[in-house]
Amino acid sequence: MPLRSGRHFLQIPGPTNVPDRILRAIDNPTMDHRGPDFGRMTQEIMEGLKYVFQTEHPVIVYPASGTGAWEAALVNLLSPGDRVLMFEHGHFALMWKKLATKLGLDIDFVPGDWRRAVAPEEVEARLAEDRDHRIKAVCVVHNETSTGVTARIPQIRAAIDKAGHPALFLVDTISSLASIDYRHDAWGVDVTVAGSQKGLMLPPGLSFNAVSEKALKASRSAKLPRSYWDWEEMLEINAKGYFPYTPATNLLYGLREALSMLREEGLVNVFARHAIHAEATRRAVRAWDLEILCQDPAEYSGSLTAVLLPDGYDADAFRKVVLDGFDMSLGNGLSKLAGKVFRIGHLGDFNDLMLAGTLAGVEMGLKRAAIPHRTGGVQKALDYLADPTAAPAEEEDIRQSMAS
């Protein structure tokens, strides 16, 4: 391959672009993880994590990918044979279910069509039927990265409460944390699972469990075997600024920098920026006359958009045209969506001009791959980005017409 000039566009929905400030922070000599400077850094990180997860409770950091944090949440809370309510939103919901099944849990898996998230009413109905409270936990993927569908977590919390059910509430925020509004405490979540490689703008390799009081209490009687993932030992040693094993020191330098950047921008502004980029992307997709996979505007994702190609056109062949021609990586379709959709990641360290470049790459790719479409998607997005407040609210119209 000859050298390609300019920056590669990494527009998959994670891992995302790592900002230079974070790369510079990671590129520092590894320090003694039992020394005083490390202890101070851990305390600083723990405070910053509370801000991002919007919690007063502890957040545990693992040197692991998101899958590790999924497992950690389950093994700390549950006992063999415990019943868990899960929902088929998409590929990652399926993977979490597979992991839970391997751990010996009994999964009540509610089928779904991958174009909508679970309806809060469905959660309420399932829990109301469970009169002897056999269900011990409800697991929801907040933002399904394979589909670009975002579940309504506060409404699901309200549904659990309405059913008067004591189940623990576990939420995967791997592709929503620090991109889409999320509040661990206010939304009554017991364990929030997250990862480093998306909204946190870090490379892959760290993952998180934010843990409520109720979850901590449940962990004391949970019987699934655990050692590496055990919260108790971790929390005891974290309180002094250290870890029970060798931590990923250089990724923690990066995490400290990422948390500073999120504070400097302010979470509210971070969420607003993502929402604007998501809306601009959807305007482009509609103008191209292509279909957004997510069917309910109330569940559109702020961090990625999955786009369906017309029947008979291969989304992977299209992505190859874009990669070869314009040096941009787009997300592929996963599991049953393979070859049918491509995903545009618009999360993390991202701005208007990066989005404009991304959409230009897609529009040029559509033309070069001879995918039937209308031109003008980029222009639609630019018009919106130029003044988001002045643009007529396309989605509101759609929502209202659906409701009427």
Ligand X SMILES: Cc1ncc(COP(=O)(O)O)c(C=O)c1O
Q: Which stretch binds ligand X (CB under 6 A): 33-41, 64-72, 124-132, 177-185?
A: 64-72
Helix, strand or coil for residue 102?
helix
Cis-peptide into 15, omega within 30 deg: yes
Least distance in Å: CB of 49 to ligand X?
Answer: 17
DSSP state of 309: P
Q: Segment near ligand X (CB under 6 A), from 48-56, 60-68, 277-285, 364-372?
A: 60-68
**How far apart, in whole angstroms, are the C-alpha atoms of residue 307 and residue 71?**
30
Only segment of 38-46, 65-73, 233-241, 369-377 that touches ligand X (CB under 6 A):
65-73
Measured CA to CA, the distance from residue 43 to residue 59 in angstroms comes to 11
Nearest to 159 by CA among 188, 116, 190, 194: 188
Instruction: Write out the binding residues for ligand X, residues 191-250 only, by CB under 6 A.
Output: 195, 204
Tracing tokens 């991002």 back to the chain, one arrives at 52
Among 73, 141, 251, 371, which residue sits at the site for ligand X (rule: CB under 6 A)? Answer: 141
Tokens standing for 42?
A: 């851990």
Among 2-10, 36-44, 63-71, 394-402, the segment contacting ligand X (CB under 6 A)? 63-71
Residues from 3 through 22 that contact ligand X (CB under 6 A): 14
Please choose, out of 47-55, 61-69, 263-271, 317-325, the segment that lies near ligand X by the rule CB under 6 A. Answer: 61-69
User: Which is nearer to ligand X, 14 or 348 (by Cβ)?
Assistant: 14
Q: How far apart are CA 18 and CA 350, in angstroms?
A: 10
CA pair distance 82, 224, nearest whole angstrom: 10
Which one, 38 or 229, has the nearer CB to ligand X?
229
Q: How many residues bind ligand X (CB under 6 A)?
A: 12
In the bound state, the residue with its beta carbon closest to ligand X is 66
**CB 54, CB 183: distance < 8 Å:** yes
63 interacts with ligand X by CB under 6 A: no
Please state the closest distance from residue 258 (CB atom) to ligand X, in A.
16
- DSSP code, position 300: B
Q: Are 303 and 278 in contact (CB under 8 A)?
A: yes
Least distance in Å: CB of 67 to ligand X?
A: 3
Smallest separation (angstroms) from ligand X to the CB of 66: 3
Q: Which is nearer to ligand X, 14 or 365 (CB)?
A: 14
Candidate list 21, 31, 39, 67; residue touching ligand X; CB under 6 A = 67
Beta bridge partners of 84: 107, 137
Q: Which is nearer to ligand X, 239 or 338 (CB)?
A: 338
Q: Which helix (H) or strand (E) holds 128?
A: helix 120-129
Which one, 43 or 332, has the nearer CB to ligand X?
332
Three-state DSSP at 29 gives: coil
- Out of 55, 76, 145, 301, the only residue in the binding site for ligand X (CB under 6 A) is 145
Shortest Å distance, C-beta 206 to ligand X: 9
Cα gap 24→189, rounded to integer Å: 34
Q: In what order do the strands lie in the sheet with 168-172?
A: 59-62, 207-211, 191-195, 168-172, 135-141, 83-87, 106-110
The token duo for 254 is 């990066």
Q: How far is the CB of 238 from ligand X (least distance, A)?
A: 21
120: preceding bond cis by omega (within 30 degrees): no
* Nearest to ligand X of 238, 301 (CB atom): 301
The rounded Cα 103 to chain-centroid distance in angstroms is: 23
Please identify, using beta-carbon distances, which residue of 142 and 165 lies nearer to ligand X: 142
Site string for ligand X, 158-177 (x = CB under 6 A): --------------x-xx--
Using the contact rule CB under 6 A, the part of the chain among 62-70, 160-168, 358-366, 391-399 near ligand X is 62-70
Grouping H, G, I as helix, E, B as strand and the rest as coil, residue 321 is helix
Closer to ligand X at the Cβ: 210 or 378? Answer: 210
The single residue among 19, 58, 66, 254 that binds ligand X, judged by CB under 6 A, is 66
Q: Which residues contact 200 (CB under 8 A, 6 or more apart)?
A: 52, 177, 178, 194, 206, 255, 258, 262, 348
CA atoms within 13 A on the CB side of 176: 28
Question: Pick from 39, 44, 65, 256: which binds ligand X (CB under 6 A)?
Answer: 65
Residues that bind ligand X (CB under 6 A): 14, 65-67, 92, 141, 145, 172, 174-175, 195, 204
